[in-house]
Structures are given as C-alpha cells and as structure tokens.
Amino acid sequence: MRVYTDGACRNNIGGWAWYNADNGEWRHGVETSSTNQRMELKAALEAINEHFLDADLVIVSDSRYVVDCFGEKWWAKWVQNGWLGTKGGEIVNRDLWEPLLEIVQDHGNVKFEWVKGHNGDPGNEKADELAVGAVLNHQKESKKHGKRQPTAKSASKRKDEATAGDGVHRGGGTAAGRETDGVAEASSA
C-alpha cells in the first residue's frame, strides 16, 4: 500500500494530509502554532495510524526531514543520546518523533520513499492540495468567526520551501537549510 503524505504551513497554522492513491481515501487536519516540518511528521504519523493493519506500507513524502530520518537512521542516534542532538540540544518535534518511531517499529514493515515535491506526481500533488486546503479552510473559518490569525515568524521559513501565490509554505526541497540531526528545524532565509 502506497500512501502519500504532506504538510503545509501559513502564518503558523499548519495543515497535514495523507492520500491513499490505491483507493482514493484521504484525511487532513490542522494545528495552530505549528511549522511545516511538524505537519510533515503529523501527516506520516496519521497515515501509519490509519493504515496500521496493512502488511506492506510505503509512506511517500516530499519531506527529506521525514524520509531521511528513517533511511539514514537518525533516530537511532537520537535514542542513544537520550533525544539530544549532536550539539546537545533537545531534538526538535520530539513530541511527534517519539510516537512516529514507536508506530513504525510496532508495525515492522513501513518503508519511506522520497518524491520531489511540486513536480507533477499525482499522489504528491493531491496530498499537497489536501494539506494546503486544510490550512486555507481553517483560516477562512477563523475569519468568518472573527478569530485573529497569528503572524508568521521569519525563522520558520526554510530555504527549501516554495511559496505559492496563496502564501502557504510547502516542503519538498532538499536537505539544505537545516541540520540533519534534527535539532535546528529552520535556518534564516
């Protein structure tokens, strides 16, 4: 089973989504005070939770942050070092990494595959559309009900994120602009 995942963030409102290209099922959600990387993790976690009983599961993501953690086994160093990075700081997004690692290990047969974002892959494009849609729908509803949106922090912008005309930051870039030990989530653009 191949499930595409994606995250998006606009003005600190994060959206996550997964899309099962085999049967067209999907889910998405939002988180306030979030980042794109948190939403990439949340999307993978939710996808695995939903497809836990599927024997062979491939999570297809445009996030090197997610894919490389498992492919390059960053997580093993994190666990060995008590969830501290190479520079001694706590691993960013540990609250999502720990349950993600646990469910991947419990499942026993989850593979992660990287796909270049915004490059015409139909599953990736659909997951992106759903994640962005979750953010935009939340913001539309918030405006309708008179809730003020938080402002974006410049530090949350990653060099490898593309910004579309709708102002939503999307992942899908290279590993540039972040430390690979997971401690630094973003660099100043």
Question: Count of domains in the chain?
Answer: 1
Question: What distance in Å separates the CA atoms of residue 166 and residue 156, rounded to the nearest whole number?
Answer: 17
Question: If 0-12 CB within 10 Å is exposed, 13-18 middle and 19+ buried, where does residue 17 land?
Answer: buried
- Residue 141 is assigned to a structural domain of this protein: yes
pLDDT of residue 145: 75
Who contacts 157 (Cβ-Cβ below 8 Å, separation ≥6)? Answer: 169, 186, 188, 189
Is residue 111 in a domain?
A: yes
Tokens 């889910």, located at residue: 27
pLDDT of residue 47: 98
pLDDT digits 0-9 by tens, 50-104: 999 998 999 999 999 999 999 999 999 999 999 998 888 999 999 999 999 999 9
181, part of any domain: no
Catalytic site positions: 6-7, 40, 62, 118, 128
Q: pTM above the 0.85 mark?
A: no
Give the structural domain span for 102.
2-170
pLDDT at 177: 25
pLDDT means per 10 residues, the chain with 189 residues, are 97 97 96 96 98 95 97 95 91 97 96 96 98 95 71 36 44 33 29
140 in a structural domain: yes
**Residue 77's domain is classified under what CATH number?**
3.30.420.10
Quote the tokens at residue 166: 């709708």
Tokens encoding 177: 């602009």
- C-beta neighbour count of 141 within 10 angstroms: 11
